[in-house]
């Protein structure tokens, strides 16, 4: 993922096509970031558990889990960023895309 965010700054927001490309790239960047953070959290947890004196393994596991849990929360934030990028595109389309067909009103019959 090195330099992935650089792709975002290269996209000039000039219209619908470029906004779509920007938001897709943003979503992909957040997905990669979440995967990276989750992997790093797992690696850190294992490393912290293994590099502790044998006399205090239970406490070492609890501390390592606490650190990993906090890091996974950062991954969850990246996941929410991905969701919001998709929602931004959906709202843009709903608000700014011209209405091509008028849907007939539904008549409710009992």
Residues 3-47 have pLDDT tens digits of 666 788 888 888 888 889 999 999 999 999 999 999 999 999 999
pTM of the model: 0.76
Residue 61 lies in a domain: yes
For residue 2, pLDDT over 60 is answered with no
Residue 104 lies in a domain: no
Residue 79 lies in a domain: yes
Residue 64 lies in a domain: yes
Residue 74 lies in a domain: yes
Q: Which domain holds residue 51?
A: 4-17+25-96
For residue 1, pLDDT over 50 is answered with no
Residue 107 lies in a domain: no
All residues at 6 or more sequence positions from 42 whose CB lies less than 8 Å from its CB, including other chains: 68
Please report the pLDDT score of residue 104 as a whole number: 65
Query: What's the rounded Cα separation, in Å, for the pair 92 and 88?
Result: 6
Residue 36 lies in a domain: yes
Give the per-residue SS3 of the chain. Answer: CCCHHHHHHHCCCCCHHHHHHHHHHHHHHHHHHHHHHHHHHHHHHHHHHHCCCHHHHHHHHHHHHHHHHHHHHHHHHHHHHHHHHHHHHHHHHHHHCCCCCCCCCCCCCC
Residue pair 44/75 in contact by the 8 Å Cβ criterion:
no
Averaged pLDDT of the chain? 86
Number of domains in the chain: 1
Residue 50 lies in a domain: yes
């Amino acid at each position: 993922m090195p330099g992935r965010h650089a792709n975002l700054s290269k996209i000039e927001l000039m219209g619908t096509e470029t906004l779509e490309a920007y938001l897709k790239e943003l979503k992909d960047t957040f997905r990669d970031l979440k995967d990276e953070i989750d992997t790093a959290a797992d690696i850190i947890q294992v490393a912290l558990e293994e590099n502790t004196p044998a006399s205090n393994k239970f406490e070492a596991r609890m501390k390592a889990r606490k650190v990993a849990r906090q890091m996974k929360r950062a991954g969850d934030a990246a996941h929410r960023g991905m969701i919001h990028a998709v929602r931004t595109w959906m709202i843009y389309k709903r608000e700014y895309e011209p209405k091509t067909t008028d849907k007939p009103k539904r008549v409710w019959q009992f």
